Amino acid sequence: MARTYDDPCGLARALNLVGDRWALLVVRELLLGPKRFTDLRRGLPGASQSMLTQRLGELEHAEVLRRRQLGPPTRAAVYELTESGHALGPALVELSRWGSRTALTSTAELSVDALALALRTTFDPAAAGDVSVRCALVLDNDRLVATVDRGQLDVTRSDARDVDAEIECSAATLRQLVFTAADPASAPVTLRGDQALAPRFLRFFPRPAPRVS
């Protein structure tokens, strides 16, 4: 039997289910939709196959996620969050916001899903103002749609084409554009649609100020 906290606090009970290493990062990788095991490994390259298999089994037992078989023509198993798993989303945003103000300790690149979480974490409603925009982000053969409306940001994995602007580049390049204020004109990026709107969208995500000790 897995070790648990002998503590009735709700936080301790939550950590009994999702507090082990890699567990919340698995949830992060599934926030935007189902993934196959190979896709999860690509997003979590530091997790060994055995570790990831173990965490998936534990999270399935805790009813945080479920394994589902896709029907024809594709015959593959995917993992997806349950309603209970999706309810962890706001907590992950707040944890990410808290962590983003600490010193950076890794030189690894963000996965597409980690970058999507970073956008949600750093979105500044004041910077967006009254702008309403749907911007497609085509990142490493993955397609997301970021919608800004009334000071709110929503990011989904979507093939929708009814967008105002489109930014196509690698996840690493978008991270640089967003968090270093690099000029899109000097980066390996393709802009489509409203040529003025896409660069403005990139300024909605100010870099978090470091935490004062």
Q: Given this structure, which CATH class describes domain 10-99?
A: mainly alpha
The two three-digit tokens of residue 63, written as one number: 């009813």
Q: How many helices (H) and strands (E) does the chain have?
A: 10, 7
Q: How far apart are CA 58 and CA 65, in angstroms?
A: 9
Q: For residue 115, which of 150, 157, 87, 149 has the smallest C-alpha distance?
A: 157
Q: Specify the pLDDT at position 213.
A: 63
The two three-digit tokens of residue 26, written as one number: 């698995």
Question: What phi, psi does 150 have (nearest 5°)?
Answer: 55, 40
Beta strands in 15-100 (DSSP E): 65-69, 77-81
Decide if 82 contacts 63 (C-beta within 8 A).
yes
Q: Specify the pLDDT at position 1.
A: 43
- Indicate where the chain has its CATH 3.30.1050.10 domain(s): 112-204
Q: How far apart are CA 99 and CA 128, in angstroms?
A: 23
Q: How far apart are CA 187 and CA 207, in angstroms?
A: 19
- Indicate where the chain has its CATH 1.10.10.10 domain(s): 10-99
Report the amino acid identity of residue 150: R
Compute the C-alpha angle 198/200/202, nearest 5°.
Answer: 75
Q: How far apart are CA 87 and CA 199, in angstroms?
A: 32
Q: For residue 128, which of 119, 141, 136 has the smallest C-alpha distance?
A: 119
Q: How far apart are CA 196 and CA 2, in angstroms?
A: 54
By three-state DSSP, how is residue 75 classified? coil
Whole-structure pTM value: 0.92
Residue range 112-204 in CATH 3.30.1050.10: yes
Per-residue pLDDT of the chain (213 residues; tens, 9 = 90+): 467 899 999 999 999 999 999 999 999 999 999 999 999 999 999 999 999 999 999 999 999 999 999 877 777 899 999 999 999 999 999 999 999 999 888 889 999 999 999 999 999 999 999 999 999 999 998 999 999 999 999 999 999 999 999 999 999 999 999 988 778 888 899 999 998 998 899 999 998 878 766
Please state, in angstroms and as integers, the Cα–Cα distance from residue 41 to each residue in 59, 164, 193, following that order: 16, 33, 34
